[in-house]
Amino acid sequence: YYVTFLVSLSPGLFRSMGLIILNYVIYYVPSFLVLPECWTQWFDRDDPAGSGDWETLINLHLQNPGKICTKPLQIQVKTTSGQSVSSTGNVIYNDTTTGFICRNSDQRKGLCSDYMVRFRCPPDFCKPPPQCWTDWFDRDDPSGTGDYETLPQLRSQYPGQICTKPLQIQVETKGGVPLSATGDVIYKADTVSGFICRNADQKKGRCRDYKVRFILTTFCLKY
């Protein structure tokens, strides 16, 4: 599929058969190359019960860290019931620097309606953060009560190499056998606790010797 991306008028005019013909240049761009607009979620941090409805960017940034870009390109406003601003008759102020303000004292009758806002940001703001894997970690072996590759112990032993909230954990034996192929009964394997295999839980023998790694966001790109 192609979409018309830009139409421009060339600087030249020419005559053909006694007519002045405008020379247009039309550019077509594959639709997959046209970036979708990047909009935030809707925000409603205030109601008009006090002096008015104040959906200001400074307060929205404080209450919703990381959810609104630093310099929005556009603001969109509607009431919490879905009405357009123009249909309310309210006197309002809104821009991409301050945000949205409706003051009760500016209204001819009654209070402001209750509003919500959202912002259009540069396309890059909506891109998911890059993901990356840590190194493999193997801090324990099963010679005691089991193999304990827990996150608190790993962070203590490898400071600065694992972020506070990993997205995913991967486990395999020291020799590269996937966890699912070992037959071991695993006590824990998650991004909160880390990995634990207890010898007491095994039907025969003890746990294998395991290693773990984690998927993080841009945290590990600096290593």
Per-residue pLDDT tens digits for 124-179: 888 877 778 889 999 999 999 999 999 999 999 999 888 888 889 999 999 999 99
* Beta bridge partner(s), residue 112: none
Six-digit token pair at 191? 């991004």
The pTM of this model reads 0.52
* CA–CA distance, 43 with 175 (Å, rounded to integer): 51
**Burial 109-139, CB ≥16 within 10 A → b, else e:** eebbbebbbbbbbeeebeeeeeebebeebeb
Q: Across the chain, what does the average pLDDT equal?
A: 85
Task: Single out the residue of 189, 188, 174, 182 nearest to residue 141, CA to CA.
Answer: 174
Q: Give the confidence band of 115 by pLDDT, cuts at 50, 70, 90.
A: very high
Six-digit token pair at 37? 């607009």
Residue 148: its pLDDT value, please? 97
* 191, 168 Cβ separation under 8 angstroms: yes
Residue 29: its pLDDT value, please? 52
* 8, 82 Cβ separation under 8 angstroms: no
The DSSP line for the chain is -EEEEEEEEEEEEEEETTEEEEEEEEEEEEGGGSPPPEE---B----TTSSEEEEEHHHHHHHSTTSS-SS-SEEEEEETTS-BGGGT----EEETTTEEEEEGGG-SSSPPPPEEEEEEE-GGGGSPPP-EE---B----TTSSEEEEEHHHHHHHSTTSS-SS-SEEEEEETTS-BGGGT-PPPSEEETTTEEEEEGGG-SSS-PPPEEEEEEESGGGGG-
Mean pLDDT of 28-44: 74
Look at residue 218 and tell me whether its pLDDT is greater than 80.
no
Six-digit token pair at 85? 């601003």
* CA–CA distance, 172 with 212 (Å, rounded to integer): 7
Six-digit token pair at 1? 């599929």
Residue 28: its pLDDT value, please? 56
Domains of the chain, residue spans: 2-33, 38-126, 132-222
